[in-house]
């Protein structure tokens, strides 16, 4: 019998551990034992942090700028975030331009999302999450007391929800819709016209807020250019939270800098939540982020070109497996592929990923926790040699199935 001493809070019921972080730990343990594993699970860029960020930390240390910061972040960084967001949402008029006071700097994009769910959800409130989805969304919603409602977008529809699907999914209990473009795990991207059409549906649902997770904004790999949701649907400004950060765009994953940009009524609530939990986040990382945010876009062009080349390399090899369904990503650094044609009876992608790891020595992430039990995700955020070796191993494993 469960002892009262070990009784956990009921909010944890049905909340799972992060499957990607768990798998990464397993791969590291195998590697430490000398097993030859090609790791294609990385959820982070393999590029170095911009040197200006390292310099800014040293400067901040020398200047003793390492004390508590304001809860929502240092003013200069919030100003820079507001400027960046205004550039991405150019339809804003002077009175609707974002200002430093609309920004909360958070411990990674993750905390911005969590702050937003905590600020908006009451028990019973529903959150529409288009699937396949980044696996933390439903778990965060549950922790915040809400109910995730997955709205599945299929491979055939480009892994993007349609306006009529969204209209049909809205109920009197819907409080939030989550959007994520470019998407993790699929790399699907919404065009401005597609976002505008979703915006028109949401215009008819005035009590619904939108959380637009734009953390992969810089990594746009095809001719669909990145569109911030509010650029396409500016009329919804008073109920949209834009989430972004330095992790994917500037390879600064371990620095843990993210942010939300949102109207005052939500920003103030999120600031209160943060003030009573983590407070202002690491000061040095904030100064570093300010320096990296000032870099011109051209600084990152080489990285984007490299991602594009690696994506094409992976696709070229994977297409040799005849029964594989491969989705061509328009953004981010993942290839999502369907292995339904290869599964054993009763097997899903979790078991299949374990078999690939065991038999072929390649670590990929199962699609099940992303809402697609017959799909897998590989990351092409690794060097060409590892990537092509990993893809070749996957193909020869599939041919042996």
Q: Where along the sequence are the contacts to ligand PLP (CB under 6 A)?
A: 43, 108-110, 134, 180, 184, 213, 215, 245, 247, 253, 258
Q: How far is the CB of 105 from ligand PLP (least distance, A)?
A: 11
379 contacts 333 by C-beta, under 8 angstroms: yes
Strand spans (E) along 168-287: 174-180, 209-213, 240-245, 257-261
Of the two residues 120 and 395, which places its CB atom closer to ligand PLP in the complex?
120
Nearest to 159 by CA among 179, 177, 186: 186
Q: Tell the smallest beta-carbon distance from residue 185 to ligand PLP (Å).
A: 8
DSSP 333-374: TEEEEE-GGGPPTT--HHHHHHHIIIII-EE-EESGGGT-TT
List the one residue out of 80, 116, 113, 85 whose CA is nearest residue 98. 85
Residue 244 or 271 with smaller CB distance to ligand PLP: 244
Residues whose CB is less than 8 angstroms from the CB of residue 78 and which lie 6 or more positions away in sequence, other chains included? 72, 100, 101, 103, 105, 259
At its nearest, how many Å lie between ligand PLP and the CB of residue 64? 27
Question: DSSP secondary-structure letter at 214?
Answer: -
In the complex with ligand PLP, the residue whose CB is nearer, 251 or 283, is 251
CB of 138 to ligand PLP, least distance (A): 13
**Do 389 and 314 touch, CB atoms closer than 8 A?**
no
Identify which of residues 330 and 395 has a Cβ nearer to ligand PLP in the complex. 330
Q: Which residue is nearest to ligand PLP (CB)?
A: 108
CB of 15 to ligand PLP, least distance (A): 17
Nearer to ligand PLP, 110 or 175 (CB): 110
> Closer CB to ligand PLP, residue 211 or residue 233?
211
Pick 146 or 258: Cβ nearer ligand PLP? 258
The DSSP 8-state label assigned to residue 155 in this structure reads: T
In the complex, the smallest distance separating the C-beta of residue 161 from ligand PLP, rounded to whole angstroms, is 16
63/60 Cα distance (integer angstroms): 5
Q: Which residues 6+ apart lie within 8 Å of 106 measured at CB?
A: 112, 115, 245, 257, 258, 259, 260, 274, 281
Residue 233 and residue 200: Cα distance in Å, rounded?
A: 8
State in angstroms the smallest separation of the CB of 131 from ligand PLP: 13
């Amino acid at each position: 019998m469960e002892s009262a001493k070990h009784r956990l809070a009921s909010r944890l019921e049905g909340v799972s551990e992060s499957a990607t972080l768990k798998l990464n730990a397993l791969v590291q343990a195998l590697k430490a034992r000398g097993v030859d594993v090609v790791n294609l699970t990385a959820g982070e860029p393999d590029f170095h942090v911009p040197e200006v960020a390292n310099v800014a930390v040293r400067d901040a240390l020398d200047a003793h700028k390492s004390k508590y910061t304001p809860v929502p972040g240092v003013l200069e960084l919030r100003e820079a975030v507001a400027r960046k967001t205004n550039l991405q949402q150019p339809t804003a008029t002077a009175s609707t331009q974002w200002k430093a006071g609309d920004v909360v700097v958070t411990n990674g994009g993750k905390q911005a999302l969590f702050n937003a769910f905590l600020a908006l959800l009451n028990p019973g409130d529903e959150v529409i999450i288009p699937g396949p989805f980044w696996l933390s969304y439903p778990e965060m919603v549950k922790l915040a007391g809400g109910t995730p409602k997955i709205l599945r977008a299929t491979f055939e529809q480009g892994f993007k929800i349609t306006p009529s699907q969204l209209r049909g999914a809205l109920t009197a209990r819907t409080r939030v819709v989550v959007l994520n473009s470019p998407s993790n795990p699929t790399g699907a991207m919404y065009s401005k016209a597609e976002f505008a059409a979703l915006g028109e549906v949401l215009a008819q649902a005035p009590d619904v807020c939108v959380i637009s997770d734009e953390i992969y904004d810089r990594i746009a790999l095809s001719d669909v250019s990145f569109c911030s949701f509010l650029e396409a649907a500016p009329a919804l400004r008073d109920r949209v939270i834009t989430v972004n950060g330095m992790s994917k765009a500037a390879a600064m994953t371990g620095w843990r800098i993210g942010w939300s940009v949102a109207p005052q009524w939500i920003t103030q609530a999120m600031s209160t939540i943060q003030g009573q939990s983590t407070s202002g986040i690491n000061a040095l990382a904030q100064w570093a982020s300010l320096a990296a945010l000032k870099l011109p876009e051209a600084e990152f062009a080489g990285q984007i070109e490299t991602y594009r080349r690696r994506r094409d390399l992976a696709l070229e090899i994977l297409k040799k497996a005849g029964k594989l369904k491969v989705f061509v990503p328009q953004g981010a650094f993942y290839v999502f592929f369907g292995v339904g044609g290869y599964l054993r009876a009763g097997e899903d992608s979790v078991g299949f990923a374990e078999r690939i790891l065991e038999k072929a020595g390649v670590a990929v992430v199962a699609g099940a926790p992303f809402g697609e039990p017959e799909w897998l995700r590989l990351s092409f955020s690794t060097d060409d040699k590892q990537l092509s070796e990993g893809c070749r191993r996957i193909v020869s494993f599939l041919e042996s199935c």
